[in-house]
Amino acid sequence: MNLGRAKSILIIAFAGLNLFLGYHLFWPDFGRLTKVAVTAEELRATEALLEDNNYFLDAALDRSVRASDFLTVSPALDFQGRLLQYFIEKGAWVSDSENTTNFQTERETIIIHSNGLMRVVYNPGVLLAENAINLDERELRALIKAFLENEKLMPEGITFDYMERSEEGRMIFHHYQLLGNIPIYASQLKVVVESDHIELIEIFWLEPVERIPAREMEVISATQALNNLVHELGPSFDQQGIDQVELGYFSGEYDAEKWEVPPVWRVTLDGKKHYYINAFTGNIEQDSVILD
């Protein structure tokens, strides 16, 4: 037997085993990288299209094959009922108008629209903190969270999204709902702070009823969503950065007992503009939120 040859074979086999184990121990996603929806050429073409129209991609894109289904939702009546019970126990009195029901306490006016939208208006505003305008975002978020918890205004699945801050001292804290790890952008809670005081909380919260796996389909790629958005918006006069491209669910507000919400790619521009591209059709949703 040729011992030198046998030794070489063993060394090669051992090296191959180490390579195999290294990929699986230190690169756990290696096995999933074979299913790629976006090639390097497609990514470069999209980046070129964006730059030609004065948009610049600052976000990492999900290049994998993705599938999704429709989500059936309804207004979160259980959460709304618990909240109203809390206000009634505080002594609220009730009045009705043509399209709203109003609950009034000494401090709050709660306006409930027929589609489930709820507005809590504070008269006068509730002090958040002295010189709140000078606090950093982390401190402000902690104060907002504590206030929502204390006032029973924390619906299930709520997560912070972003904060707007104007030069005049107005701040708006935006939140949306998570279903597992999937954003439901149609569920929104906004807290408006003026001159260190909480003035308004606006809530449109949804209850996930069911997902429809039988209707699961492959969604368009993130690059296709960006291509469609650029073709729809046209060239930008000012340079705009694309901060985030994320898959979730979004729809407008409906005055209905339940409805279906499609998956969307949410594209965030300069941290203040959000566009929702239907992940099945590639069309921009008509109720896309654009923040000035």
Identify whether residues 196 and 216 lie together within a single domain. Answer: no
- pLDDT tens per residue, range 225-281: 999 999 999 999 999 999 999 999 998 777 778 888 899 999 999 887 899 999 999
**What is the structure's pLDDT at 8?**
47
Residues 219 and 205 in one domain: no
The yes-or-no verdict on residue 61 having pLDDT over 60 is: yes
pLDDT score for 234 = 94
Question: pLDDT value at position 169?
Answer: 78
| Residue 228 and residue 176 share a domain | no
Residue 85 and residue 182 in one domain:
yes
CA distance 261 to 79: 20
Mean pLDDT across 44-52: 95
Compute CA distances 65 → 20, 21, 218, 250, whole Å: 24, 25, 7, 20
Q: Is residue 205 part of a domain?
A: yes
Name the domain boundary from 190, 210, 230. 210
User: Is 88's pLDDT higher than 60?
Assistant: yes
Is there a domain that residue 17 lies in?
no
d(CA 80, CA 269): 33
The verdict on residue 16 lying in a domain is: no
Can you give the pLDDT at residue 160?
A: 96
Same domain (yes/no): 206, 217 = no
Question: Considering 210, 238, 270, which residue would you say is the last residue of a domain?
Answer: 210
Number of domains in the chain: 2
- Asked if residue 144 has pLDDT above 90, the reply is yes
Q: Identify the domain containing residue 147 by its residue range.
A: 74-210
Among 210, 227, 246, the domain boundary falls at 210
Contact 57, 47 (CB under 8 A): yes
Would you place residue 288 in the very low, low, confident or very high pLDDT band (cuts 50, 70, 90)? Answer: low
User: What is the CATH number for 130?
Assistant: 3.30.310.160
| Whether residue 78 is found in the same domain as residue 196 | yes
Query: Residue 292 pLDDT > 80, yes or no?
Result: no
